[in-house]
Structure 1
Amino acid sequence: MNLVRLPIAVAAVVAALFVTAPPAVAADPWGQGTVNTVGKIIWEAGDGRLGLCSGAVVDAPNGSVVATAAHCVSARESPSAPGDVYFVPAYDHGRDSYREDGWRVSAFHLPEEWDPNGETGAILPHDYAFLTLEERDGESVQEAVGANALRFEPVRESGEVAVLGYPAADPYDGESLRYCAGETNVLDENEAEPVNLGGLLLDGCDLTAGSSGGPWIQDYDAETESGTVVAVMSVGSGEGQVVGRPYPEAARPLLAAAGAREAEDTETTPAPGSEVPLSER
C-alpha cells in the first residue's frame, strides 16, 4: 500500500469529516443493500436539520450497545450531547420513519480524555464512544438483529477490512449503506504524525460526513451479517484517505458500563469516562 503521512491539519477535520470537494467516487453501495448489525444514528439538530452519524451493534450483556465515534456525540461546534437520538439498524431510505424503526439512545459513554474544546492532537486518539439503547417492545437491539464482536487494541494488521457507513455529503445522500474495503494498516511513527499513531489507514476511500462512527470490520460473515469491529470512522483527508480509531484496552470499563444489565450489573460496574444519560440534557 502506498502510505501517506497524515498531518495534524488533516486530523482537525473532525465534526464534518470532510470540508473539501471529494475525489472521484470510490465508496460503493453495499451489495446486499444493508447489514443488520450496522446502522444510522439520527437526531434533531434544530432548524429542521437532522444530525447524522453511523454505528454498529456490538456484543454486550444487556444487548443494547452501539459503537461509534466520540465526535458524533460531542464536537467543538456542539459540545453538548444531542437529545432524542435514535439508532436505526439496516437503515435504508427511512428518513421519515427513523423513530418507529429505531432504538432510542438512553445514554452516551465517552472517554474522559475526549474534550471537544481541547487541542485536536490531544483528543483525537480518544475519538471513540459507546451508546446504550433502550429496549423496544421488550426486545434489545442485539436480540433483534445480532451483534458484532469488538476487538480492543492491538489490532491484527493482516487481512481485509470493510469500512461501512452512511455518507451524507456530496456525492452521497446518506440514505443507503456504502463501503470501502482494503488491507488493514495500523499507522506507526513512519507513516503518521503523533495524533494519528495507532489509527487505521485506508487509501482510495471517499466516505464523507455522515459515515463518522461507522465500523471498520474484519472477518465479516454474510450469514450472520456481522464480524469483528476493530475501529470506528474518525477523520479523513478529503483526498481519499480515511482513518479509523481503534478501541484501546483502557476502553474496556467504558464498554462494561454501557453494556451493564440494570438489575445485575449497575451496582458493581463502575462508570468510567463521561456517561451522559438523556435525562440530564
Structure 2
Amino acid sequence: MLRVLAALVPVVALATPAVAAAPPPATVNHSYQARSAQTTAYWTADRIASARPAPVPAGSVRSTPAAGGAEYGMPQNGPADQGSAHTTQGTVQRYTTPGFLKRVNGKVYFTSAGQNYQCSGSAVNSADRDIVVTAAHCVYSNNAFVTNLVFIPEFEDNVRPWGTWTATEAHITRFSAQPQPDLAYDYAVFEVAAQNGRQLGDVVGGLGWAVNSAKSYAGTTFGYPADSVNQGRYLVSCSDTTYENSRDPRTIGLACDMYGGTSGGPWIRQDPGNTYINGVNSFSYTSDSSQEYSPYFTNDFRNLITNADAD
C-alpha cells in the first residue's frame, strides 16, 4: 500500500494492474479567468493556516513509454553562485541558505470541492519565464482542475517577500486517465500572471530542467511539510542518491522521509553553474515511509514545458 505525501490514506499498490481504459490525452490544458486580485485576496492568513495537505488518488501501472536520450533544457535563470543544495545525507532539515534556491521554491495553494489545500512547487525557467512546476494532484483533483491556484515563492511564516502569483493556465500530461490517474505522470506545469509588467522568472529566477537523464544522481528534494512541527511554515530539504524504483521503473526513489504538504516540491541535480529540476515529490509507500518517490522525467515533461510556452 502507498503512503501518499499529502495524507496517510490507503491507496492501490502500484503493482496492481489498472482496469483497461482508453489512453489518456497526451496533454490536458485548462485556462483560468483573469481574476488575479480576487484570487490573491482569497488567500488570507486564516485560509492559509487552515489549508490541508493535498490528497493523492490511487496509483496505477501502464505501459512504459520510450525515454529517448538525455536532454538538458533551458539552463537556470538566476545567479551562477546559487549555493549548494546538498545537506546531511538522508536527513530532512530546515533550509535556511538565502539566495537562488530559497527564492525559486515556494508554496502552492488551491481549492478543490470546497476545501482549501497546500502543496509545494518551484519556479522553472522557460521562454516565457512564467512557469511553476508541481505535482499533478496539486492541480487536478476530484476529476477536475482546481480553483484559486497560486504560487508563493520563498514563503515563510505567511511572509510573502515576492508576492502571490496567480495561475492563468494549467497543464497536465496523461495523469487524468480513468478509472485511476497514473502516478508516473504526477507532475504539472502552471503559468502565472505577470506583476507590474514583470514575469515570475524576472523576479525570482527559475530552475533549469532535465529529462531522460541517469536515474541515479546526487539529488536534493525540497518542500514545505505540514507536519505537527512545521505546519507548512518553512522550507525543508533532504539529500541522497536517487535510484530506480523496482516496483515501477517509471518512477525514481530517494531515501528521505518527507511529509504531507511537500507534494510537488522539486527534486534537483546540480552541475557547475546550473541547477536542474529532475523530479517532484509525489508519493511514498506505507510499508516504508523513509523512501520518497517521483515520476521519472521523460520527453513528456519536456513537451509539457514546450506546450505551456506555446500558449
Query: TM > 0.5 between the two?
Result: yes
Q: Is the 8 A contact 1:155 1:230 kept in 2?
A: no
- CA distance 1:220–1:176, change in 2 (3 Å): farther
Q: 1:138 aligns with which of 197, 216, 228?
A: 197
Tell me how far apart the structure 2 counterparts of residues 163 and 212 of structure 1 sit (CA, whole Å). Answer: 10
Q: 1:166 aligns with which of 224, 237, 241?
A: 224
Q: Return the letter of the residue paired with 1:39.
A: G
Q: 1:127 aligns with which of 160, 170, 186?
A: 186
Q: What is the CA deviation profile of residues 52-89 of structure 1, one whole-angstrom value per residue up to 9, with x for unaligned ones? A: 111111111110011111111123xx222221211011
Deviation at 1:116, TM superposition (A): 6.3
1:16 is aligned to: 6
- Partner of 2:225, secondary structure, is coil
1:263 is aligned to: none
1:115 is aligned to: 176
Matches within 5 A, 1:82-231: 82-94=146-158, 101-111=163-173, 113-115=174-176, 117-119=178-180, 123-155=182-214, 157-158=216-217, 160-187=218-245, 192-193=246-247, 196-203=248-255, 205-219=256-270, 227-231=275-279
Tell me how far apart the structure 2 counterparts of residues 241 and 184 of structure 1 sit (CA, whole Å). Answer: 10
Tell me how far apart the structure 2 counterparts of residues 258 and 15 of structure 1 sit (CA, whole Å). Answer: 26
Identity %: 23
Q: Return the letter of the residue paired with 1:253.
A: N
1:30 is aligned to: 95
Q: TM-score, normalised by structure 1?
A: 0.73
1:72 aligns with 2:133: no
Tell me how far apart the structure 1 counterparts of residues 151 and 235 of structure 2 sit (CA, whole Å). Answer: 14
Tell me how far apart the structure 2 counterparts of residues 198 and 236 of structure 1 sit (CA, whole Å). Answer: 14
List runs of 5+ in structure 1 lacking aligned partners.
1-8, 261-265, 267-281
Tell me how far apart the structure 2 counterparts of residues 172 and 56 of structure 1 sit (CA, whole Å). Answer: 19
Q: Is the 8 A contact 1:15 1:71 kept in 2?
A: no
1:4 is aligned to: none
Q: Return the letter of the residue paired with 1:79.
A: N
- CA distance 1:151–1:31, change in 2 (3 Å): same
Deviation at 1:46, TM superposition (A): 7.1
Q: C-alpha root-mean-square deviation of aligned residues, in Å?
A: 2.7
Matches within 5 A, 1:234-253: 234-238=282-286, 239-253=289-303
Deviation at 1:258, TM superposition (A): 1.4
Q: Return the letter of the residue paired with 1:147.
A: G
- CA distance 1:156–1:202, change in 2 (3 Å): closer
Q: Return the letter of the residue paired with 2:147.
A: G
Q: Is the 8 A contact 1:53 1:211 kept in 2?
A: yes
- Partner of 1:259, secondary structure, is helix
List runs of 5+ in structure 2 lacking aligned partners.
11-89
Deviation at 1:227, TM superposition (A): 1.4
- CA distance 1:125–1:44, change in 2 (3 Å): closer
Q: Return the letter of the residue paired with 1:90.
A: E
Tell me how far apart the structure 1 counterparts of residues 9 and 92 of structure 2 sit (CA, whole Å). Answer: 17
Q: TM-score, normalised by structure 2?
A: 0.66
Tell me how far apart the structure 2 counterparts of residues 229 and 163 of structure 1 sit (CA, whole Å). Answer: 10
